[in-house]
Amino acid sequence: MSNGASNASREILRARGLRKNYRMGSTSLEVLKGIELTVARGERLAVVGASGAGKSTLLHVLGGLDRPTGGSVWFDGVSIYDQPLGELNRLRNRKVGFVFQAYQLLPELDAAENVSLPGWVSRQSGHQVRRRAEELLASVGLGDRLRHRPAELSGGEQQRVAIARALVNEPEILFADEPTGNLDSATGAAVIELLLRLQRERGMTLILVTHEMDIARHCQRVLEMRDGVLSGH
């Protein structure tokens, strides 16, 4: 196999010339300024930077949540924003997992139901999805919280539910956007340890956004976002 083919097989995500602008009245705010990024399959990558630097915007654009103003994102050789909306939604549902700072759990659903949601969206067998949700909750230490609603769980427990939800469709890549931002230091450290363990066990690619270098150092590569520009190696 040629080096080019070998490199392509190891690459899971590529961004080229990525730009994102937002309109603010009569002006345009440029948040991403020509981002270039290649991520290897199974890699742990951290993106650090101050608040407002564009980290979350980058994550949302890379993960198919927010269409860029310019440039392209390639996932497994597919230019995702060239796909019809239905195909983009299916790709994101089946191959991508997200963990957010604010958990984003539905308050009327219990833990197992929240974890099951992505499986229901992809129209998988309800029985299989429920079993997988229960197994995932057990793996993150919440096997005895299956029927608890978010209001009955601590912040750390809610984030563990959110992590399990992100994994229920067995994604190839996991995006974590400030996953410890709403947690105290001890709980946050436990959540990061959990994320890293699950990433290793499942062989996923992990892209982690954080403003804390102590967290970023757990990753194999650290890039800095500053004023819409990504730097590092």
- Report the run of H or E that residue 24 belongs to, with start and end: strand 11-24
Helix (H, G, I), strand (E, B) or coil at 174: strand
Q: Give pLDDT, residue 224.
A: 94
The tens-digit pLDDT sequence of the chain (233 residues) is: 344 444 446 899 999 999 999 988 888 889 999 999 999 999 999 999 988 889 999 999 999 999 999 999 999 999 999 999 999 999 998 899 999 988 899 999 999 999 999 888 877 777 889 999 999 999 999 999 999 999 999 999 999 999 999 999 999 999 999 998 888 889 999 999 999 999 999 999 999 999 888 889 999 999 999 989 998 75
Q: Give pLDDT, residue 177.
A: 93
Cα-to-chain-centroid distance, residue 213: 18
Amino acid (one-letter) located at 45: L
Q: Give pLDDT, residue 114.
A: 96
* Whole-number Å distance between alpha carbons of 21 and 91: 24
In this prediction the pTM is: 0.89
How many CA atoms, within 13 angstroms, populate the side-chain half-sphere of residue 215? 28
Virtual torsion, Cα 86, 171, 37, 39, nearest 10 deg: -150
Beta-bridge partner residues of 27: 24
Q: Give pLDDT, residue 152.
A: 96
Burial of 24 per CB tally in 10 Å (0-12, 13-18, 19+): exposed
Question: Starting at the edge strand that comes first in sequence, how are the strands of the sheet with 44-48 ordered?
Answer: 96-99, 173-177, 205-210, 44-48, 221-226, 229-232
* Whole-number Å distance between alpha carbons of 224 and 160: 27
Q: Class for domain 43-64+85-224, per CATH?
A: alpha beta
Q: Give pLDDT, residue 7.
A: 45
Q: Give pLDDT, residue 143.
A: 92
